[in-house]
Amino acid sequence: MLFNSTEYGVFLVVVFVLFWALARYKTMRLVLLLVASYLFYASWNLTYLGLIVFSTAVDYFIGLAMASTEAERKRKALLVLSLGINLGMLAVFKYYNFFIDSIERSVDFVGQGPVALPHLDVLLPVGISFYTFQTLSYSIDLYRRRIEPCRNPLKFFVYVAFFPQLVAGPIVRAVEFLPQLDEDPKVTAAQVTQGGLLIMMGLIKKVAIGDYIALNFVDRVFDTPEMFSALEILMAVYGYGMQIYCDFSGYTDVAIGSSLLMGFTLPVNFNRPYKADSIQDFWHRWHITLSTWLRDYLFIPLGGSRGSNAMIYRNLLLTMLLGGLWHGASWHFVMWGAAHGLMLALTRAWKTFRTSQGIDVEAWPWYRPLMVFLTFQFVSFTWILFRCEDMDKVMAVMERLGTMTTGAGNLTAMVMLLLWGSYAWHMTPNAWRDRAMVIFNKLPVPVQVAVFVGIVVVLQRVAETDVVPFIYFQF
């Protein structure tokens, strides 16, 4: 059940009506949310519904056991058990075949192969990378004594499975969401309008911009790069940058908007990332809930910014290598993470150098625009590693870029208008968006409804016959 499908629209309306009908009855509304969330997940694959129930139950009971003892050795053993089970599920379903393939290739490379090892013929459970990170953060925070255990199983199961963010985030922490389940739900007309507007804006990003650019240009270029000029390859690289932003931030907008309709607040996950003036700033703006998760549960435990510069650089590189691997079981994702880790280390080295030398870059009026431009180029070209299926395709794209050919027969006016119009809007101040939302909230309800209906009609006309899945569903 995709967010950009009619089925989800009907599903959301039904849940919305039932939720507010049961709003006064805490247990009943929690039951509704859990049933709705499991129905939503089962629409993808009923078989794997048991996996998320198992993962949730494990961390619920481990949390209770951890809260019942003060013995540090027992608490640590329980944490290791949670880590082992959750990461074990990821290892089996997401990484087993990747590691087996890597072993086979390594053996063959050193001249001891070929060797055939057993592979698993399983589908990747949708959302497993997201909900395992949520349950892991709960267990780790309990171990660190930063939160109290959730003793209500119904509430904890809703926290893990809450349908708007279940499949592709934002990654929500227990400390942010569990208290909201205890509160009597309240929502204003302005919040309903804001929620509806976020859903519409998310669908516009996904369907009218991201999908259109992808299906009418970007996908064709990356599928057969040898058929296109260097200029067209370059535009496809920039196009994929906008496609993945519209696709993923569009999903987040729909998730946050859907939650807001029921009075729940989810964390912000994007803040115009292509306006970043460094790769560090980029990760403060892109997939924010993942970057803060990696910071708090991986980078800091590795040592964070403590110790020598060499140790800090090591921590940055390891964090981003694992962050790349989180995105997909393939070496091109690992290399994408490594590139970002190296650039984070270089960014820190440059900051350390200019501080030690008393260099005031803020006094250079051209410095920030230049750094925004350079950061955008780095992020755009590392998207090649992210988009291509394997390293052979990466090399094919880079070779075509190196030809410096300038043919533009495949660059249609509509693709270019959507691409550069989107980037232009992306670079505008956030205040413009906020002001537009305030103005929309002040419009009469009939006018707001008419706008929503108009958007739906337009989306139906521009949408492809087949509903296009979201990119991050594969992670």
**pLDDT value of position 465:** 56
Neighbours of 65 (CB within 10 A): 16
| pLDDT value, residue 127 | 85
- Among 262, 237, 246, 165, CA closest to 386: 237
**Residues 281 and 340: beta-carbon distance below 8 Å:** no
Q: Tell me the three-class secondary structure of 288-316, residue by residue.
A: HHHHHHHHHHHHHHHCCCCCCHHHHHHHH
Please, are residues 217 and 250 in contact by the beta-carbon 8 Å criterion? no
Please give the span between the terminal C-alpha atoms of the chain, in angstroms, as a whole number. 17
pLDDT along the chain (475 residues), means of 10: 86 95 93 95 86 93 92 94 92 85 78 74 83 93 93 95 90 94 87 90 91 92 93 96 94 95 94 95 96 94 89 94 89 93 94 86 87 96 92 91 89 92 92 86 86 83 70 70
How many helices and strands (H and E) does the chain possess? 23, 0
Would you say 3 and 248 are in contact if contact means Cβ atoms under 8 Å apart? no
Question: In one letter, which amino acid is 342?
Answer: L
Whether 284 is catalytic:
no
Of 216, 65, 63, 266, the C-alpha closest to 149 is 63
What is the predicted pLDDT for the residue at 26? Answer: 92
* Rounded distance between C-alpha atoms, residue 153 and residue 139, angstroms: 15
> Tell me, what's the pLDDT at 157?
96
d(CA 413, CA 50): 48
Predicted local distance difference test score (pLDDT) of residue 286: 96
Using the Cα atoms of residue 415, residue 416, residue 417 and residue 421 in order, give the sign of their dihedral: positive
Specify the amino acid at residue 309: N
Distance of CA 288 to the CA centre of its chain: 8
Please give the structure tokens belonging to residue 111.
Answer: 């001249």
Q: Angle, to 10 degrees, between the axis of helix 26-42 and the axis of helix 49-67?
A: 140
Are the beta carbons of 181 and 149 closer than 8 angstroms?
no
Q: Residue 467: what pLDDT? A: 67
* Token pair of 209 as six digits: 């911009």
Give every CB contact of residue 244 below 8 A, 6+ residues apart in sequence: 210, 383, 386, 387, 471
Q: Which helix (H) or strand (E) holds 472?
A: none
pLDDT of amino acid 464: 62
Handedness of CA 395, 401, 404, 410 (dihedral sign): positive
Q: Which of 287, 327, 332, 340 is catalytic?
A: 327
